[in-house]
Chain A
Amino acid sequence: MTKTQTSAKRGKALTRRRALRRFIRNPLSVTGLVIAIILTTAAILAPAIAPQDPATQHLSDKRSKPFGKYILGADQFGRDILSRLIYGARVSLCVAVASVLIALTGGIVVGTLCAYIGGLVDAILMRFMDLLLSFPYLLLAIVMVAALGTGTMNTILAIGIWALPTFARMVRAAVLTIMKKEYIAASKAIGSPAPRIILSHIIPNFVSPLVVYATLFMANAIMMEAALSFLGLGVQPPTPSWGEMISSGRNYLMVAPHVATIPGLAIMLAVLGFNLLGDALRDALDPKMKMP
């Protein structure tokens, strides 16, 4: 008994070490991780590392060029762009994390219920998810915003609901595969109640694809938030958000191109970082994993 336990533990430690080695050996993985860490740190420590207050308007420095008084220049109101980018990281990451959490929780609940109960519940819920998925990109989030109104909270909700069906589908497929395993049948045979089977046998077994998918979706959520805010339907000024910065800076494209273009680089970096990290996690955790 103790012997098999220790060997199982050793086996687990070995797989984990192998996964870590696969992760570290790939330069792209490390790049993704570094970008994600930098952004998260910037978001958390924003007040400490931002050189200026993001809202203070230095009207004499309106649209001043980068590498002068301000490292990345100032915007149309003379606000420091670097500080706004750092605070913008806070907004973008918060929106992304919160909406992915909504999608993740909702997806696990819907997906597990569908797979476990099956029958009519499964059919109705999944047809509804398919319906949500058949909206073209951006449109479902736009409809949600049209109903709920703009603002940070509603943006989170809109992106969360937009992402939910994809997670639900993935979880459902994973649960259906796991349910065919013998240990589930064994657990049922000894009379475990359904909640325990779900919580202690099913969910732990699809954590790794879920982590990968959530990471990749962080990139999608950041892009979505930027798009909604650019259209004026997401995070509202004066809250600094990357998409909103591009939107308000584009009127000065001729005289001060840096105001609208620099935030785009931040979006690109963030999306790239989370995409690389997600790909790397997939390769490290399970190279054979097929993404839906």
Chain B
Amino acid sequence: MGARPGPQSYPLPGVSSPLDQARVMIVYLIKRVLASIGVILAMAFLVMLILDIVPGDPVALMLGESATEDMVQELRQQLGLDKPLLIRYADYIWKVLHGNLGRSVREMAQVSHLIGDAFPNTLKLTASGMFLTLIIGVPLGLISGAKSGSWLDHSSRIMSLVGLCMPVFWIGLVLMFIFSLKLGWFPVGGTGSLLHLVLPAVTLASYSVASLARMTRSSLLEVMGEDYVRTARAKGLAYWVVVVRHAFGNALIPIVTLFGMQVGHLMGGAILTETVFAWPGLGRLMVGAIMDRDYPLLQGTILVFAGSYIFINLLVDLSYGLIDPQVSGK
């Protein structure tokens, strides 16, 4: 790392040897991974700090009005709340590194077990949401941008505009009413079969599909005006070949960036979707933890939630390197 610093090392990213490029890539990778770990650590501290400003005594609130002074003291000691914030933080991180997220106050179970049960469900839901976003949103925007001005373009634009304005949970309720309650095609809620997954996944993906379709369209339109697209057309290539091979490839960076941001939206949307469809995931666990004032559980769910978001964004960032080799050199 940093064996040959200075601008002379890489006069032009395109000309440097493959070995140099590999080195640049690895340095970039290590930097990004370290930065992500830093963000997760800072986030965990911030969440602890915010939860520390709770007005009133959190332990008394957790136990309710019937608790005696001894019970409050005992729980306070058990949670380590009698220690200063920084020590508690160091303690928490140390335990987390050993896979121990503490005990839930309400459920009387290890937080890591509760999260371990819920996390696969949330993962399944968000992953299907992402999948739908990619296979519907990108082609929709591509067609819309390539055929701009056509009725296809107009209808897809209106659909995405409306899609962006509908609350996720409301879409879920409407879909549930039509397809579960009236038509009886899908179960009303819960998990189990693939059929259970359809409505929640469609609900969750709706916003991101609309947003990605819009982004793909505008970024494609921008590229379609470039000289090399005209050249490719002028040398006689078919329209769709130019759209897919020349224009789309170059429009990909903003699309991937937006997709990374959409992951955050999908995860937030998952909290709402899980509530609508009684989907036993992290989001419901989190909302339940807030209602019950179950701080260890809340902290654990937030950590896992935010951590996976940062991890996915790390993957998105690294994928830039694959799409555009110049990025890693910068």
Q: How far is the CA of A260 from the CA of B55 in the complex (A)?
A: 34
Q: From A131, which residue of chain B is reached at the shortest CB distance? A: B42
Find out whether the CB atom of A272 lies under 8 angstroms from the CB atom of B165: yes
Give which listed residue, B263, B272, B298, B313, contacts A231 with CB less than 8 A.
B272
Inside 8 A of A137's CB, which chain B residues have their CB? 264-265, 267-269
Find out whether the CB atom of A230 lies under 8 angstroms from the CB atom of B306: no
Inside 8 A of A268's CB, which chain B residues have their CB? 162, 165-167, 170
Task: Bits for B252-284, please: 1 = Cβ < 8 Å to A, else 0.
Answer: 000000000001110111011001100000000
Inside 8 A of B50's CB, which chain A residues have their CB? 143-144, 146-147
A106 interface residue (CB < 8 Å to B)? no
A230 in contact with B290 given A149-B55, A253-B173 (CB within 8 Å) = no
A246 interface residue (CB < 8 Å to B)? yes
Find out whether the CB atom of B167 lies under 8 angstroms from the CB atom of A264: yes
Q: How far is the CA of A257 from the CA of B180 in the complex (A)?
A: 13
Min CB distance B152 to A, Å, is 20
Find out whether the CB atom of A264 lies under 8 angstroms from the CB atom of B166: yes
A–B pairs, 19, beta carbons within 8 Å: A131-B43, A132-B46, A134-B306, A136-B263, A138-B271, A138-B272, A142-B290, A143-B302, A227-B167, A230-B169, A231-B271, A260-B173, A261-B170, A261-B174, A264-B166, A264-B170, A264-B173, A268-B162, A268-B167
Inside 8 A of B298's CB, which chain A residues have their CB? 146
Interface size, chain A (Cβ < 8 Å): 38
Task: Bits for B34-55, please: 1 = Cβ < 8 Å to A, else 0.
Answer: 0000010011001100111111
Find out whether the CB atom of B166 lies under 8 angstroms from the CB atom of A139: no
B96 interface residue (CB < 8 Å to A)? no
Q: How far is the CA of A163 from the CA of B141 in the complex (A)?
A: 28
Inside 8 A of B161's CB, which chain A residues have their CB? 272, 275
Q: How far is the CA of A138 from the CA of B274 in the complex (A)?
A: 14
Q: From A261, which residue of chain B is reached at the shortest CB distance? A: B174
Find out whether the CB atom of B290 lies under 8 angstroms from the CB atom of A146: yes
Inside 8 A of B265's CB, which chain A residues have their CB? 136-137
Inside 8 A of A134's CB, which chain B residues have their CB? 39, 43, 306, 309-310, 313
Residues of B within 8 A of A (CB): 39, 42-43, 46-47, 50-55, 161-162, 164-170, 173-174, 176-177, 181, 263-265, 267-269, 271-272, 275-276, 286-287, 290-291, 298, 302, 305-306, 309-310, 313
Interface-centre pick from A139, A254, A264 (highest chain B CB count, 10 A): A139
Q: How far is the CA of A253 from the CA of B189 in the complex (A)?
A: 13
Interface-centre pick from B39, B165, B272 (highest chain A CB count, 10 A): B165
A100 interface residue (CB < 8 Å to B)? no
Inside 8 A of A164's CB, which chain B residues have their CB? none
Q: From A254, which residue of chain B is reached at the shortest CB distance? A: B181
6 closest cross-chain pairs (CB), A and B: A137-B268, A138-B268, A264-B170, A136-B264, A271-B165, A272-B165
Within 8 A of B (CB), among A246-276: 246, 250, 253-254, 257, 260-261, 264, 267-268, 271-272, 275
Inside 8 A of B306's CB, which chain A residues have their CB? 134-136, 139
Residues of A within 8 A of B (CB): 131-132, 134-139, 142-149, 219, 223, 226-227, 230-233, 243, 246, 250, 253-254, 257, 260-261, 264, 267-268, 271-272, 275
Q: Classify the interface of chain B: helix, strand, loop or mixed.
A: helix
Q: How far is the CA of A147 from the CA of B267 in the complex (A)?
A: 21
Inside 8 A of B302's CB, which chain A residues have their CB? 139, 142-143
Q: From A242, which residue of chain B is reached at the shortest CB distance? A: B167
A131 in contact with B291 given A136-B268, A142-B286, A230-B167 (CB within 8 Å) = no
Find out whether the CB atom of A261 lies under 8 angstroms from the CB atom of B173: yes
Inside 8 A of B162's CB, which chain A residues have their CB? 268, 272
Known: A142-B286, A257-B177. 13 other contacts (CB 8 A): A131-B46, A137-B267, A143-B302, A146-B50, A246-B169, A253-B181, A264-B167, A268-B165, A268-B167, A268-B170, A272-B165, A275-B164, A275-B165
Find out whether the CB atom of A246 lies under 8 angstroms from the CB atom of B170: yes
Q: How far is the CA of A219 from the CA of B167 in the complex (A)?
A: 11
Q: How far is the CA of A275 from the CA of B181 in the complex (A)?
A: 33
Q: From A135, which residue of chain B is reached at the shortest CB distance? A: B306
A145 in contact with B167 given A131-B42, A139-B268, A139-B302 (CB within 8 Å) = no
Find out whether the CB atom of A223 lies under 8 angstroms from the CB atom of B167: yes
Find out whether the CB atom of B173 lies under 8 angstroms from the CB atom of A227: no
Min CB distance A157 to B, Å, is 12
Find out whether the CB atom of B287 lies under 8 angstroms from the CB atom of A253: no
Inside 8 A of B305's CB, which chain A residues have their CB? 136, 139
Q: How far is the CA of A5 from the CA of B287 in the complex (A)?
A: 60
Q: How far is the CA of A138 from the CA of B47 in the complex (A)?
A: 14
Inside 8 A of B264's CB, which chain A residues have their CB? 135-137
Inside 8 A of B181's CB, which chain A residues have their CB? 253-254
Min CB distance A150 to B, Å, is 9
